[in-house]
Amino acid sequence: MQRPQRGLIVRQPYAGWIVDGEKVWEIRKHPTRRRGPIGIVSNGQLIGQVDLVGVEGPFTVEELRAHEEKHRAGKFLADYAQGKPLWAWVLANPRRYPRPLPVPPRQGRVMWVDLAEVAWPEEGGDDD
């Protein structure tokens, strides 16, 4: 398994749903060119990882309502969109880590964090 270099900050309960494979679209206000493994960070902890495999959209809130089972954003969508289009970041291969790993705090409002400073478990251990 390839370790992610970057972590996406996601609120709970959405972060847990992502690493458990229950949420396969992460809705964002813009597309991304990033692909490959990304960490899922919530409440200062790296809880797991997924592969970011693509982006779909742009979508209106009304169009996204037909895909609730993929994004699970519910009523939050309209407030989040504020009348603007949204994109679905397509996720695959979810994995929840046996134990969350602390992520050093960052100043300001950030969406991505560098995972270079995360204290990863030893290679070949039960957490790998």
Task: List, for residues 72-114, the tens digit of each pLDDT value.
Answer: 998 889 899 999 999 999 999 999 999 999 998 877 778 999 9
- Whether pLDDT at 125 is above 70: no
CA dist 56 to 61, 78, 90, 97, Å?
14, 18, 7, 27
Query: What tens digit of pLDDT does each residue of 23-81 get?
Result: 999 999 999 999 999 999 999 999 999 999 999 999 999 999 999 999 999 888 989 99
Q: DSSP letter at 108?
A: S
HSE value, Cβ hemisphere, 13 Å, CA-based, for 13: 10
